[in-house]
Structure 1
């Protein structure tokens, strides 16, 4: 593959840093001006496994402010980093972000525990992990854009839009989006560069951040089918085609492995050693998938089904339409399918490199 130059890489990194600082400043400003809605921030009971492990915050205004900023899903991520997986619904949050948060809080940031409290340190660690991951995700996004677009200036514009997009708040909060973006985009960059083993590793790690990381196996499925067809029908080399299929299958299995391992871990924790009466319904299923059960059972709309590609039932759509003016049902279909559509477009573009 031809050597590519990335002339705007430093500018992208600086722009990503500025965007994070701007968002953090806006968060502080709006929280100072307005009282937030009920965000579950005060929920902080003792750990179930070891209640004495709970380390309450000293009388520190900084620690209190950091803890009050741990809201919504961040509460779960910080709780998992502090106490592990205690409740069934906590398994909806995969372990990569809590693992990095726990590691950072117990190493570099450990001296701050006695100053601002352990939970505040966990929150600070979560913010650092998410924002640093975003900086490198932006760099890999720029590199990947240069490879695909063959135009550094267009890649720069795309990267700036990535840094300053309406959903950018999720990349600054203690959410898994930044880590997922880093390892997904980075994995695609290495895939396009020809570093297949590194790509498999990065894409597999993305599956430890978010469940849709398993979709990244689709890139290797496409590549495998493309190369196997070429070997079988154009080159007439049957053994080579078989070898390509075996290697492709192994790479896909590696990408699926983290998510499957997490499901097995949940099954051992929640199902084994319990009587049939104590078992949850998903434990008794032929294929006990904890994640699917959580998505369906704890879904806000009580959706029928649990797949991330499924749309809302028609009854729910009707209820929403009666409550919201000018609801466009097409938008309810758009969001679940947008990621798959984007991946399909990238696969088509990827085929031109083969």
Structure 2
């Protein structure tokens, strides 16, 4: 795979570190699940229709913490399909992948493990793979966008200890989505539009917020169009007529956005066919324990007795938005209640970090932000100067806008406690900005090169830094994140806050989530 090819020592160290973090997370969740009794949560818990064997019980003891909360939905869908109406809040790409891995890769274990156990095992293995590949994709994306390998490397290391760690390990779709989204962004930065569009389309089959990624394509095309309009008279004569450029822009944006939205549309059409079309009720093939669960909990089955749910009569019958509103009371300002203050406090660190990132970029590039990055700079017109590097470089603008949109939507329109995993798996900004803060404020990292190539204030350290960087590229002797942790007492307050936030949420997520206790 192109992501992990090459002799880049940064990438090799990143892959080793990511694998170690994933193995440690699996070990700790098993330990915490054994030592801490499960909380009796009012969560989706379908009955087990087959008696577990010894191997099933052993696997449940080892990986049972990964099947909590929404993971039950994904595993249930992978095993039984979309039986209940509220199952359609969970998109099909991840459960289909889990089922395929359980049937194909783990088929030798079918005599030892029942299907549900094989699904849990395949989910753990797939998410371990996807999370490692997502870290590699984030590193490659950082190298292309930030043009600074050290910052990109540190950001990818932070991703390995993400505050959303437990959701990268559990049977959730976050790891798969992060891998597809970051890979698509990377290919778009490289100019590989079709490959990027395909990955963005697959991402929209994993999570609904994948639709927002269409904005990357639209912005990329609009930026090229705007820059072409600002070229000099000599170059303008060689370009196609304005109307032809405009038509090419419109058709390209429309077709690409339609392709990215296609999985979402097809999934909604499938739900409409199941619930709204006459004579499609499948309740006769559903086992009686699942039918009884529907009666006990009030779950709606597909077109039972010809009764159609209310969303079928809407002008645009979208089941996803209906489920979010009807089942979980998701909507604008609906979560702003006094009793939700603890959840707002839980999401406060990621909210502050995202807001700080947006403000830092805005104050560093006010004109670039006001012109939406569509103004050709003088050095571009003259062919002089090098592109900016680091977090505040012009290329990062679209990523900051994307992260800010997700942040505002998450705060005002979602259950705010999910904001940590929502942003942690969707945008590179949290990791880029955290790495930027560490490089800017932590003297222990200055010898790693940071951005001192462009900072005169550190010129006296450049000789030492370059020599260290040279030896670092020949063979990495020490992980910079591990260095910071080993010298934690010597770290600056900013470094302590960032590392404290990442590591505390990394650990608390494993303790709380894996025992059915409320978390993000």
Give the structure-1-normalised TM-score.
0.83
Match of 2:12 in 1: 10
Pairing partner for 2:316 from 282, 287, 295: 287
Contact preservation (8 Å) 2:30, 2:62: no
1:188 equivalent in structure 2: 185
Q: Which runs of 4+ in 1 moved over 6 A?
A: 327-330, 344-347
Q: Say which SS state the counterpart of residue 165 (structure 1) adopts.
A: coil
CA contact (8 A) 1:138 1:162 kept: yes
Say if 1:56 and 1:119, in contact at 8 Å, map to a contact too.
no
Structure with more contact order per residue of length (Cα contacts < 8 Å, sep ≥ 6)? 2
- Residue 282 of structure 1 contacts residue 289 of structure 1 at CA under 8 Å; is this kept in 2? yes
Query: Aligned partners of 1:36 and 1:98: how far apart in 2?
Result: 25
Query: 1:154, CA displacement in angstroms?
Result: 1.4
In the other structure, the counterpart of 1:50 is none
Report the counterpart of residue 100 of structure 2 in structure 1.
103
Q: Structure 2: which 5+ residue stretches go unaligned?
A: 1-5, 279-302, 363-368, 374-393, 399-520
Question: What per-residue deviation string (whole Å, max 9, x for no partner) do you get for residues 113-141 of structure 1?
Answer: 21122111110011111110111110010
- Secondary structure of the equivalent of 1:114? coil
CA distance in 2, matches of 1:111, 1:171: 26
Superposition deviation, residue 238 in structure 1? 2.1
- CA drift at 1:81: 0.6
Name the residue aligned to 1:250.
255
State the alpha-carbon separation in 1 of the partners of residues 320 and 93 from structure 2. 16
Superposed CA deviations along residues 17-67 of structure 1, whole A, max 9, x for unmatched, are: 111011111101111111121357993437xxxxxxx65432333244257
Superposed CA RMSD in Å reads: 3.3
Match of 1:58 in 2: 53
Is the aligned partner of 1:28 residue 2:30? yes
Give the whole-Å Cα distance in 2 for the aligned partners of 1:352 and 1:35.
46
From 252, 261, 265, the equivalent of 1:260 is 265
Map of 2:39 onto structure 1: 37
Q: What is the match of residue 93 of structure 1? A: 90
Could you tell me how far apart the structure 1 residues matched to 2:138 and 2:206 are? 18
Residue 212 of structure 1 aligns with which residue? 209
Q: How far, CA to CA, are the matches of 1:73 and 1:352 in structure 2?
A: 33
Cα deviation code 1:315-341 (max 9, x no counterpart): x424435xx59x779949949x87x96
Q: Which residue in 2 is equivalent to 1:51?
A: none
What does residue range 115-264 of structure 1 map to in structure 2 within 5 Å?
Answer: 115-231=112-228, 234=231, 235=236, 237-264=242-269
1:187-212 C-alpha deviation (Å, 9 max, x unpaired):
00000001100000001100111100
Tell me the TM-score normalized by structure 2.
0.57
Does 2:339 align with 1:297?
A: no
Aligned CA distance change for structure 1 residues 232 and 148 (closer, same or farther; 3 Å): closer
Note the alpha carbon deviations across 1:122-175, whole angstroms, 9 max, x for none.
Answer: 100111111101111100100111112222111111111110122111101111
**Cα distance change of structure 1 residues 116 and 276 upon mapping to structure 2, 3 Å threshold:** closer
Q: Report the equivalent of 2:80.
A: 83
Cα 1:101–1:287, aligned 2, differ >3 Å: closer, same or farther? same
Q: Unaligned stretches of 5+ in structure 1? A: 47-53
